[in-house]
Chain A
Amino acid sequence: MKIQSVKDLEQIRQDYSQRLYYPEAVKVNIGMASCGIAAGAKASFDKAIQEFPNGNGIDISQTGCIGFCEVEPLVEILGPGKPRVMYKNITEDKILETIQDYNENKFNKKWILGQMRDPRSLLEDDIENPLAGVTPLEEIPFLEEIPFYHKQVKIALRNCGYIDPDSIEEFIAKDGYFAFLKALHDMEPKEIIQQVKASGLRGRGGGGFPAGIKWETCARHNGDRYIICNADEGDPGAYMDRSILEGDPHSVLEGMLIAALGIGSNQGFIYVRNEYPLAVKRLVSAIKAAVKYGLLGDNIAGSDFNFNIKISTGAGAFVCGESTALMASLEGQVGRPRAKYVHTVEKGFRQNPSNLNNVETYANVPAILLKGADNFAKMGTTHSKGTKVFSLVGKIKNTGLVEVPMGISLKDIVFDIGGGVPRKKKFKAVQTGGPSGGCIPEQFLNLGVDFDELTKVGSIMGSGGMIVMDQDTCMVDIARYFLDFLKEESCGQCNPCREGITAMLDILTDICTGNGKEGDIELLEELGMMIQKFSLCGLGTSAPNPVLTTILYFRDEYEAHIKDKKCPSGVCKPLFHYEIDEEACNGCTLCAKRCPEEAITGEKKAPHEMEQEKCIKCGICYDACKFDAVLIK
C-alpha cells in the first residue's frame, strides 16, 4: 500500500494503536537494543518464542531500549484490562517465570521496576490514556516516580522502548510521519525552516550550531543539495544515537525527509559507524519499509517530491565525525578534514551544498513540527532549547540514557537520576563532551547543563556523554587516556595536532610513570594553548581540553605525581603500592583467595600480609575487600 494522505496514515494508526495499547492477548515487549542483547535479552527472547511459538495467548515482541541500561534485560508486559508492568534483570532463566507471574497476577515486587501510568508519548495528546480505566497495582511505583525517570522528558527518545523498531506501522501508530505529511502538503519550505529556527533547536552532535540557520543557509545555495545524517557517534561513552537508530529509526528518516523538504533536496545519506551492526540492520529495514509505503522514493505520498536515502558505513575513524572529513569519507576517500573557509552548506559532499546534522537532531524535528516550535522552545534555557539526551556512565549506580530539559543541574543528573557513585566512594568529577571535552569537578555540581554553561567551565556539551569519576580515578591518567585516544585518531595532516598531541602525551606518560619534572605542567599548558590556536579542525582545537581542565581543577594531583612521585588514586602503577591495614582487616581471606599471584598470606580471622615483591598491582584485592582494609600508599 502506498500512503497518499493523512487519512491513510490515520487508518494505520487506528489499526495499530490496538496492538500498542489494547492488545487482545498478553503482550511481552523485550528490550532488544545492543545493550539489552549484550545483557542477555536475545536469550530471553529466544526462550520466550520457543515456549510460545504460535501465540497461545501470549504475544512476544521486541522493542528498543527504554534507557535504564543498569537493570537490563528489561521486559514490559501488558494484557487486556491489566496494568502495564516493567520487569528488570529478566535473563533467560527468569523470562518464563516472569510471564507466569504476570499471568497469575502475582506481581513479584523484587522483579518489577515499576508500572506504567501513561504509555503515550508527548505527541499523542489527541487520544485517551489507554490505562485510564485500569486499576493500578498497590505498592508498586509508577515509572515516573522512580528517581531515574522522575525528571526525564522524552522527545528524541519518545519511542525508544515503546515500539518494535522493525515495524513502521507501530511508528505510525505513535504519530510517525504525520509531521512529514503536514510539511509536505501544508507547509512552504520557508515555513518549515522558520519553525525549526523558532524552536531554537541546536545541533546535538557537538558543535551546537542552530539547526534552522544551517538549513536556511544551505537552502540559499544552488546545486544538488544533500541531506546527510551523521551517525558516526565516536565519543567514547556516548551511545544515544545508537539507541535511537536501534529503537526508533523512522524518527531519523522522518527528520531527514522534513529537512529535505525545507532545504530542497532529493538525496540523503546516513553515515553510520561500522561498530553498530544492529543499527545498520534496523536502518536498512526501516528504509525498505518506508519505500514500500511510498514514504521514500519517487513521487512520495502522491506528490512530485522525490527523496532517497543511502546508508554508508564508516570504518573506524573518530575524525570522520567532523563534517568535512565525513563528507570525504562518503566519497570513498581518506577521512581528512579540510579548512572551512567555504562551509559545507555551500560546498560539501561532491562540492555541492550539504546539510549535515546528527541523529538526535533529526529525531527532534518531527516533534517540533507536530507539537509546535513554541512547545519545544518552552523547555530549556535562553540559548539552549528543548531536551538533551545524556549517557550517564562510568562510576555511577544507574547507568543509562537519560533525556532531560536543558538547564537541569549536574547534581540532579548525577545524584538524583544517576543515584550517585556506587560503593560509598567519593565523587570526583564528571567528564562531558568526550575527548574534546573536559572534567568538571564537584564545585560546579549546581551548574545548569546547557551548551554555554559547560563551555564556561572549560568543557563542552559534545554529543552528551557523561562519564562519572570517583576517588579511584586518576585525573592525570584520564588526561593521558584521552590524549592517547586522540593521538591514534589524529588524521596527521596538520603539525600542531599531530606533533603537539604526541608531545603532550609524552610528557603525560612521563608524569604517570614517575618521570615527571618541574615545569611539565607549565609546558603542557603552553603546548595546549598552541594546539588550540593553530590546529586545522575541531579535533585538534579541542584536543587539549581534557588536559587543561584537569590541570585547572586537579593541579594537586599533577603535583603529587611530579613532586611526591605518588598517584593518590592508585592508578599509575609505578607511583603507588597496596598495603593491608592491620586494624581494618578481619581475616576474611577473600583477598588472598582472589590474588592471582599468591602475594597475600594470612590465617583466617587474623590480619593478612602482602608481599610487595610478588604484587603486580592488579587491584583485584582492592576491589574485593569489603572492609576497606586494602590501602593505596
Chain B
Amino acid sequence: MSQAAQIKSVQFESVPSIEIDYMELDNIIANEFNNDKENLIMILQAIQRRYNFLPRPALAYLSTKLDVPYSQIYGVATFYSTFSLEPRGRNIISICLGTACHVRGGERVREKIEGALNLCDGETTEDQRFTLETVRCIGCCSLGPVIKINEDTHGHISSDQVEKILDPYE
C-alpha cells in the first residue's frame, strides 16, 4: 500500500461508521450461507456487495455469529485482493494488467488514469467518484488493453481516450 493510501485508511477509521442492518446480516449468514464457517469468503463477498466495502462492525458481528476469531476474519479479509476495508468509490475502475494487456500498452493506460484522477492503485478519489483497482486478466485478451468500469468493459483503449471514457461515470 502506498503511503497516501495508508494515511487515508487511518482517516477512514475515524469516520463515523455506517449503519449496519443486523437483521439483513443475519439473513445473509444464516439463510443464504447456513451459518457455515466454510462459506466465510462468500459471506464476506455478500457483505461487500451490500456495503461496497467490509465495515468493521459487520466483521465483528460475523465473528461471533460464526464462532470464528476476529483475527482470522481480518486475515481472510486482508489476504484476498477482492476485499476492501475502506469505503470505495461510486464507480470501480478495474484496469486489466494481464500479460496480453501489458504487452499491448496497459501500463500506459494505467499511468494516464492515475494522472487524470490523481490517485494510485487501490485508492479512491476524494469525491468518492472513482476507485482504481488493477486486476490480472479478465479474459478479454482480444480487446486489450482493457478496462472495466463497474460492469462495462471498454476494449482497445489508447491512453488518449481515457478522459472521454471516464466522463460519463458520475
> Which positions in A face B, CB cutoff 8 Å?
34-35, 37-39, 69-70, 72, 233-239, 242-243, 274-276, 312-318, 329-335, 391, 393-395, 399-400, 431, 434, 465, 467, 469, 473, 478, 481-482, 485, 488, 491, 594, 596, 618-620, 623
Contact = CB atoms under 8 A, between A and B. Distances in A.
A315 B45 contact: yes
Interface string B21-58: 00000000000000011111110110000000000000
Nearest to B77: A315
27 contacts: A35-B142, A38-B155, A69-B140, A70-B142, A236-B102, A239-B140, A243-B139, A274-B45, A275-B135, A313-B42, A315-B45, A315-B80, A315-B81, A330-B38, A331-B37, A332-B39, A334-B72, A334-B79, A393-B99, A393-B141, A399-B100, A467-B103, A478-B103, A481-B99, A594-B160, A618-B111, A618-B112
Contacts of A623: 105, 158
B79 A335 contact: yes
B44 A315 contact: yes
B88 interface: no
Given A35-B140, A594-B160, A618-B108, A393 B100 contact: yes
Contact of A34 (B39, B45, B140, B160): B140
B136 A318 contact: yes
A423 to B, nearest CB: 12
A169 B38 CA distance: 33
Nearest to B33: A332
Given A39-B155, A312-B41, A313-B45, A465 B99 contact: yes
Contacts of B112: 618
Interface string B60-75: 0000000010001001
Contact of B103 (A276, A333, A391, A394): A394
B144 A236 contact: no
A596 B142 contact: no
Given A393-B142, A618-B111, 12 more contacts: A34-B138, A34-B140, A35-B139, A235-B137, A237-B98, A314-B41, A315-B41, A330-B38, A332-B36, A393-B99, A394-B141, A465-B99
B118 interface: no
Contacts of A313: 41-42, 45
Given A35-B140, A35-B142, A237 B99 contact: yes
B76 A333 contact: yes
Nearest to B102: A481
Given A35-B142, A39-B142, A316 B102 contact: no
A72 B45 CA distance: 32
A505 to B, nearest CB: 15
A243 B159 CA distance: 29
Contact of A317 (B42, B80, B102): B80
Which of the four size classes fits the interface of chain B?
Answer: 35 or more
A69 B141 contact: yes
Interface of B: 36-42, 44-45, 68, 72, 75-76, 79-83, 97-100, 102-105, 108, 111-112, 135-144, 146, 153, 155, 158-160
A619 B144 CA distance: 16
Contacts, number: 146
Scoring B99, B112, B139, B143 by chain A CB atoms within 10 A of each residue's CB, the highest score goes to: B139
Contact of A39 (B98, B102, B108, B143): B143
Contacts of B40: 332-333
Contacts of B36: 332
A329 B41 contact: yes
Nearest to B39: A332
Given A317-B79, A332-B39, A485-B136, A619 B45 contact: no
A34 B138 CA distance: 9
B148 to A, nearest CB: 8
A315 B40 CA distance: 11
Contacts of A434: 99
Contacts of A335: 79-80
Contacts of A332: 36-41, 68, 76
A391 B137 CA distance: 12
Nearest to A435: B99
Contact of B136 (A70, A234, A276, A312): A234
B1 to A, nearest CB: 11
Contacts of B37: 331-332
Given A69-B141, A238-B137, A332-B76, A394 B99 contact: yes
A38 B153 contact: yes
Scoring B36, B44, B142, B144 by chain A CB atoms within 10 A of each residue's CB, the highest score goes to: B142
Nearest to A472: B103
B50 to A, nearest CB: 16
